[in-house]
Structure 1
Amino acid sequence: MTLPADRRIAVVTGASSGIGAATARHLAQAGYHVVAAARRADRLEELATEIGGTAAATDVTSEDSVAALADLVAELSPRGLDVLVNNAGGAFGATPVAQADSDQWRRMYDVNVIGLMQVTRALLPQLIATGAGTIVNVGSTAGRIAYEGGAGYTAAKHGTQVVTETLRLELWDQPVRVMEIAPGMVRTDEFALVRFEGDREKAEAVYAGVAEPLVADDVADAITFMVTRPPHVNFDEVVIRPRAQAAQHKVHRQA
């Protein structure tokens, strides 16, 4: 299938759940044909059917898989790509550095930094081709401050932030906006549960007493606002938190 020449197209990685799935829905509502990319093909197919988009089973840590994604986008839209949302990421474990699991740290760096780089590198020519491309990297407030038990994740998300800043400098003369959104406390179905290896009690404790944490739709709404501004408007970084979270360590929790 080739899209009409005037149809805008967006790629969202990590689109099988949480912020990625919500962002795919919001961008589709804003008029984009969304290529939903993630590893879980069954979930992607359901999402693509729901929003009238395209499912792309993709492992961002695999160069071959990312190359296949780029080929798919080129077939859909010979004119190029309008929006790339690098959302694939994750936190694995919460142990102190002294007890850190090397494999967990490698996984976090691989998906949050290397994966982001590989997808961006593969799709950048298509973003430039439209004359008004936009990249939004989904970082975290963990990319701004350290906290105990979070060194592996904070290191990876600091990497996301620095790659974003560097890319903006390197593309200063190209028609591509480079942005980052850094969410604080966002309650999704899977993030904390994955981090604590399925321990639901620990996952629930993250949000205990917080009446209104952010949800995936809040972040997706902000991303959609960012990418739909005029092409000359660039949000270098947007930090988004629930009102209850004044800082990483200062969260209002009701009894």
Structure 2
Amino acid sequence: MTTELKTLMDQAVERPTTFTPDAAALVATGRHRTRVRRAVMSAATAATAVVAVLLIGHLSPTRTAPQPATVPRPAAITDLCAKSDDFFRTANDDAWRRQVVGSWTDKVVEVTDPDGSMTVRRSPDGSQYAYCVAGVPIRGQALGGFGATLINVGIVTRPYQIQRYWSMAYGDTPVDRNSQTGGYGVRYSYAGRVPEGVTRIAFSGLGQHADATIKDGFWVHRVYTANILTGNTDPIYITMYDAAGKQVFKERY
């Protein structure tokens, strides 16, 4: 033990008392480590950016092509009304028409399309009915219809007269009505009281076959043709049937 202690003490005496660092060597070493650290950090940043781009490309939803803008359609304007049992006195009475449009808000039955609508309205007291056609304006002008009362034979007598309006129209194709001068097609509007015993009212002609809309004792229907002259070769027929499917009335219009 004494010998080992003496050896250690001798080694301590022989060791230099001071340490002088080499400044140039330390600076060079520090610069080298800084360059290595920057290189590693740059590589890591680039790798992170690549991963982020790949993730964004994978997670982003697939973009679809923009859809074409739809052509806005102005609201239909009720421009012609006629009392259901007194067409001749009321069809051209503007004051009466405005009263119907403004206060007869109870619509018994109605059909609509891009060219307008056909409606049966009921008076506030429930005692009177009116047939009103509404048209979508063309260049600001409502072209809802020109009317004609069709007094028929057989079961369709004065109380069940068929009301018909017609007007220029475009059909179901969307168009900018503010830039058009007029439609080349024609829209026919029909309305009437449902005769007793009749349960179905069918339309045929102008290349079409369809049933009228029936509700609460009235019926309405609209028919479109792109060419008014087509009616000469394929005219419209209105046919009525009873509950047993028997034909009880048919007329050409």
TM-score normalised by L of structure 2: 0.29
Which structure's residues are more often helix, by fraction?
Answer: 1
CA radius of gyration, larger in: 2
